[in-house]
Amino acid sequence: MQIEAALLTHTDAPFRIVPLDLDDPGPNEVLVRLAASGVCASDAHTRSGHTPSPLPAVLGHEGAGVVVATGANVEHVQPGDHVALSWMPNCGHCRHCAAGRPVLCTAAAPALLAGTMLDGTVRLHHQGQDVNHYSFLSTFATHTVVPAASAVKIPEDVPLGLAALVGCAVLTGYGAAVNRARVQPGQSVLVFGAGGVGLSAVMGAALAGAAQVIVVDPVPDKCAVAVEFGATATLAPGDDLVDRVLALTDGDGADVAIDAVGAPGILDTAFRATVPGGTVVCVGVPGPDARPSLPGPDLVRSERVVTGCLYGSSRPSVDIPRILELYRRGALPIDRLVSKTYRLDQVNEAFEDMAAGRLSRGVIVHDEAIAW
Ligand SMILES: NC(=O)c1ccc[n+]([C@@H]2O[C@H](COP(=O)([O-])OP(=O)(O)OC[C@H]3O[C@@H](n4cnc5c(N)ncnc54)[C@H](O)[C@@H]3O)[C@@H](O)[C@H]2O)c1
Ligand SMILES: [Zn+2]
Ligand SMILES: [Zn+2]
């Protein structure tokens, strides 16, 4: 079928809206009509070359929509079902899936940025040339073909525009606090970055009962928004940041620090601003050459845990519906993440707004009638 999509042909180029040919879903694949797609900093990282993924490609990995057709062997969804899309499909039987850590799935994780579907081929074509997928989803388009395991069935009364955001920012940030750091009631949590991911970490920490949620962001408006999501204090970055965090935490440091930025220097600051025995969770994606260092003896003596966190260390097919249920109960104000909506042909503007620090989340609405 023919679709409309935002094509990125080379690094730092503007997106061009073009008609593309989309193949029928193959075995274990699903065709989805997209309602909406969030714009994540990871898309910007790939557009800039910070996180390489093959081009030309259709980016976008935070989407939700309605199933149009299913390929062979697909039983868990059928045409008409509402789905949120997971950018980490999983096989269900490798050592990591069996151990309950599907984001590490050996069948999917190594191919995340390969630009193909799980079988190594593509479904997208432009004027007879193959076009790469992005994170298995390519949601900056009216329709997409995704691995069956990426299509997570959700209730029909949840707006698809919000379900889209659960597909990356919310699951990632909430999961960093709840699944990875396992924030406990009464703890202090330090969050770097008040974008879609960081604000979701704030929501997760607040819901888990954190007594203090301290947010660090250089943009004053972002700090003001963080307070609406549950931040108890906000700080601008600076040389004395560690001292300011210690002053807010009785001289101890935070129990948990979550880096939702990935910029140079944050890991070192987070480490020093965390209490001995505390946990530092690295979510923001550094550049490919980043080699952050830590004070070695202090690492041993303080017993701090420093951990990466991919996709909120989640089990997407379980956690996405759970998070949407928390939204329905009013426990997670996901709707407040939506700062601005755009048409697909305004995708370049959405990226400019994100880079300028104007958005909690920008959402590209493909189909207004089914998005809200
Ligand atoms: N690990 C994962 O699975 C995963 C998933 C999604 C996104 N990410 C990554 O998470 C990061 C955040 O994504 P996002 O979409 O929320 O980004 P965003 O651009 O919406 O937000 C980033 C925020 O960081 C702030 N910031 C910039 N420099 C800072 C500094 N030195 N200290 C504190 N704050 C600073 C910005 O003002 C902005 O508010 C990106 O690196 C993205 O690639 C990781
Ligand atoms: Zn993302
Ligand atoms: Zn697996």
Residue 64 pairs in a beta bridge with 36, 84
Q: How far is the CA of 94 from the centre of ligand 3 (A)?
A: 4
146 and 177 belong to one structural domain: no
Q: pLDDT tens digit string along 278-289?
A: 999 999 999 999
Give the residue from 65, 51, 62, 59 showing the smallest Cα distance to 6. Answer: 59
Q: Which helix (H) or strand (E) holds 276?
A: strand 274-282
> Residue of the nearest CA to atom 41 in ligand 1?
284
Rounded CA separation 254/273 (Å): 6
* Mean pLDDT, rounded, for 127-151: 98
Give me the CATH number covering residue 109: 3.90.180.10
Q: Which helix (H) or strand (E) holds 40?
A: none
Q: What is the pLDDT of residue 305?
A: 98
Catalytic residues: 40, 42, 45, 61, 168
Percent of the chain at pLDDT > 90 equals: 100
Residues 57, 201, 284, CA angle at the centre, nearest 5°? Answer: 45
* Mean pLDDT, rounded, for 206-222: 98
183 and 264 belong to one structural domain: yes
Q: How far is the CA of 127 from the centre of ligand 1 (A)?
A: 35
342 and 231 belong to one structural domain: no
Q: How far is the CA of 302 from the centre of ligand 2 (A)?
A: 32
Q: Near ion ligand 2, which residues have CB within 5 Å?
A: 40, 42, 168
118 and 208 belong to one structural domain: no
* Mean pLDDT, rounded, for 300-311: 98
102 and 130 belong to one structural domain: yes
Cβ of 114 less than 6 Å from ligand 1:
no
Ligand nearest to the CA of 361: 1
Would you say residue 325 lies in a domain?
no
Other C-beta atoms lying within 10 Å of the C-beta of residue 230: 18
Place 179 in a pLDDT band, splitting at 50, 70 and 90: very high
Q: What is the pLDDT of residue 177?
A: 99
76 and 110 belong to one structural domain: yes
Q: What is the pLDDT of residue 151?
A: 98
Would you say residue 317 lies in a domain?
no
Would you say residue 160 lies in a domain?
no
Q: How far is the CA of 89 from the centre of ligand 2 (A)?
A: 14
What six digits make up the tokens of 102? 């599907």
Cβ of 281 less than 6 Å from ligand 1:
no
127 and 13 belong to one structural domain: yes
Q: What is the pLDDT of residue 236?
A: 98
> Residue of the nearest CA to atom 43 in ligand 1?
42
DSSP string, 131-159: EB-STTT--SBSEEEEEGGGEEE--TTS-
147 and 177 belong to one structural domain: no
Nearest atom in ligand 1 to the alpha carbon of residue 355 is 19
Ligand 1 pocket test, candidate residues 261, 307, 339, most atoms within 8 A of CB: 261
Please state, rounded to an integer, the average pLDDT across all residues of the chain.
98
Cβ of 148 less than 6 Å from ligand 1:
no
Number of domains in the chain: 2
Nearest atom in ligand 1 to the alpha carbon of residue 41 is 15
* Mean pLDDT, rounded, for 184-190: 98
Cβ of 268 less than 6 Å from ligand 1:
no
Ligand nearest to the CA of 268: 1
3-state secondary structure of 72: coil
Place 51 in a pLDDT band, splitting at 50, 70 and 90: very high
Place 17 in a pLDDT band, splitting at 50, 70 and 90: very high
Nearest atom in ligand 1 to the alpha carbon of residue 282 is 1
Per the listing, tokens 């002053």 go with: 247
The bridge status of strand 82-85 relative to strand 151-153 is antiparallel
The bridge status of strand 129-131 relative to strand 188-192 is unpaired
Residue pair 323/304 in contact (Cβ under 8 Å)? The answer is no
67 and 115 belong to one structural domain: yes
Residue pair 349/342 in contact (Cβ under 8 Å)? The answer is yes
26 and 117 belong to one structural domain: yes
DSSP string, 295-314: -HHHHHHH--EEEE-SGGG-
Would you say residue 60 lies in a domain?
yes
Domain span including residue 201: 173-310
- Give the sheet arrangement for strand 188-192, strand by strand: 233-235, 212-216, 188-192, 254-259, 274-282, 305-308
Percent of the chain at pLDDT > 70 equals: 100
29 and 94 belong to one structural domain: yes
292 and 201 belong to one structural domain: yes
Would you say residue 7 lies in a domain?
yes
Rounded CA separation 324/314 (Å): 14
